[in-house]
Amino acid sequence: MQEHMRESTTAEFADVCIRVPATEVDRVKSALSKFLELAGVKYSIADDDEDLLTWEEAFPKIGPGDILQGARGREGLTQTELAERIGVKPHHISEMENGKRSIGKDMARRLAKALNTGYKVFL
């Protein structure tokens, strides 16, 4: 049986990213630091050298198979359990998740019902 991902150890934190004109970076950092100190909030400000990625850069190939795998994991199901729920062989689930088998409208509806989501996410 496949293991599911562990829970995040940083769940009590949130990242905030803002975009400001390059000429105003130092002034904005200073103002934010003062504001957060006055509010009594613990914080850290990333260095300018830190590489930040857009979601498109971090996840360049999100497809129906990735959505299927994520939805299955969210529901806590193995490929075999999902296959039994929708009446297909387990290797069909594997093939869909790996992009080797397409997901048609009928299959998307069956998956959506079993995974408590809308069918359009799989198309």
DSSP 62: -
Any domain includes 80: yes
Q: How many domains does the chain have?
A: 1
Full DSSP string of 68-101: HHHHHHHTT--HHHHHHHHTS-HHHHHHHHTTSS
pLDDT digits (tens, 9 = 90+) for 16-51: 778 889 899 889 889 988 988 898 888 777 766 666
Nearest Cα to Cα of residue 97 among 68, 120, 75: 68
Any domain includes 23: no
Any domain includes 100: yes
pLDDT digits (tens), the chain, 123 positions: 455 555 655 667 777 778 889 899 889 889 988 988 898 888 777 766 666 677 677 777 789 999 999 999 999 999 999 999 999 999 999 999 999 999 999 999 999 999 999 999 999
Q: Assign residue 85 the CATH number of its domain.
A: 1.10.260.40
Any domain includes 112: yes
Q: Structure tokens of 13?
A: 């934190």
Reported pTM: 0.55
Rounded CA-CA distance 116/123 in Å is: 16
Any domain includes 35: no
Question: In terms of residue numbers, what domain contains 63?
Answer: 58-122
Any domain includes 117: yes
Any domain includes 75: yes
Any domain includes 12: no
Q: Structure tokens of 114?
A: 């079993």
